[in-house]
């Protein structure tokens, strides 16, 4: 059997966007019976929330779509470059922070912006809903549902 394709979703604190993307991706993987082929994890570029569960407001927005957010925040490590096949940054700042940990550029080909997989949303970045109201959390879930579905399709078609 071939090794599973390993995805790492990355945002700033790993309590809102990236754990949402991880759990939404797991939802799509389960829906398509691909649990043995695709594994997901998430991390943050900053250390603010290490060990914390996903934000309760983000979880409430995800639960409206039948998705429970599970996991604990961790910080992105240099070893993640070797561990994962594809690293998905939620915004351009996260993207630059990740690339800065690889000054030789050896793994730059593995790092992509999450929104590059959106099918219906025109966004270039996943906005951080942390300081906003519930509509921001709901929007991020919708955006990530779109991006994760597009990402899954790209993986299945081997276009990543």
**From 11, 115, 118, 148, the catalytic residue:** 11
What's the residue count for the chain? 160
Strand partners, 45: none
Strand partners, 42: 9
pLDDT-derived band at 2 (thresholds 50, 70, 90) equals confident
**From 41, 80, 91, 128, the catalytic residue:** 128
pLDDT of 1 over the 90 cut:
no
Average pLDDT, the chain: 96
Residue, of 121 and 160, whose pLDDT is higher: 121
Residue 11 falls in the annotated catalytic set:
yes
Edge-to-edge order in the sheet of strand 38-44: 38-44, 5-11, 86-89, 111-113
pTM equals: 0.97
Rg (CA), the chain: 14
What is the Cα–Cα distance from 144 to 160, expressed in whole angstroms?
A: 18
> What is the 8-class DSSP label of residue 40?
E
Token pair recorded at residue 112: 């992509």
What is the Cα–Cα distance from 96 to 64, expressed in whole angstroms?
A: 32
Residue 119 Cα distances to 63, 113, 146, 147, angstroms: 22, 14, 6, 7
Each residue's pLDDT tens digit, 72-126: 999 999 999 999 999 999 999 999 999 999 999 999 999 999 999 999 999 999 9
Residue 128 falls in the annotated catalytic set:
yes
- Give mean pLDDT, residues 33-56: 96
Residue 119 falls in the annotated catalytic set:
no
**From 16, 17, 55, 115, the catalytic residue:** 17
What is the Cα–Cα distance from 9 to 19, expressed in whole angstroms?
A: 7
What is the Cα–Cα distance from 36 to 151, expressed in whole angstroms?
A: 17
């Amino acid at each position: 059997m071939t090794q599973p394709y390993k995805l790492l979703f990355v945002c700033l604190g790993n309590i809102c966007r990236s754990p949402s993307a991880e759990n939404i991706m797991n939802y799509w993987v389960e829906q398509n019976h691909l649990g043995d082929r695709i594994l997901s994890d998430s991390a943050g570029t900053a250390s603010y929330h290490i060990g914390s569960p996903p934000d309760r407001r983000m979880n409430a927005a995800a639960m409206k779509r039948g998705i429970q957010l599970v996991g604990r925040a961790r910080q992105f490590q240099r070893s993640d470059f070797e561990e994962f096949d594809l690293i998905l940054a939620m915004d351009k700042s996260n993207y630059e922070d990740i690339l800065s940990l690889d000054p030789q550029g050896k793994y730059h080909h593995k790092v992509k912006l999450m929104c590059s997989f959106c099918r219906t949303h025109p966004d270039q970045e996943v906005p951080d809903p942390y300081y906003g109201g519930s509509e921001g959390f709901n929007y991020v879930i919708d955006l990530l549902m779109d991006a994760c579905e597009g990402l899954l399709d790209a993986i299945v078609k081997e276009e990543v």
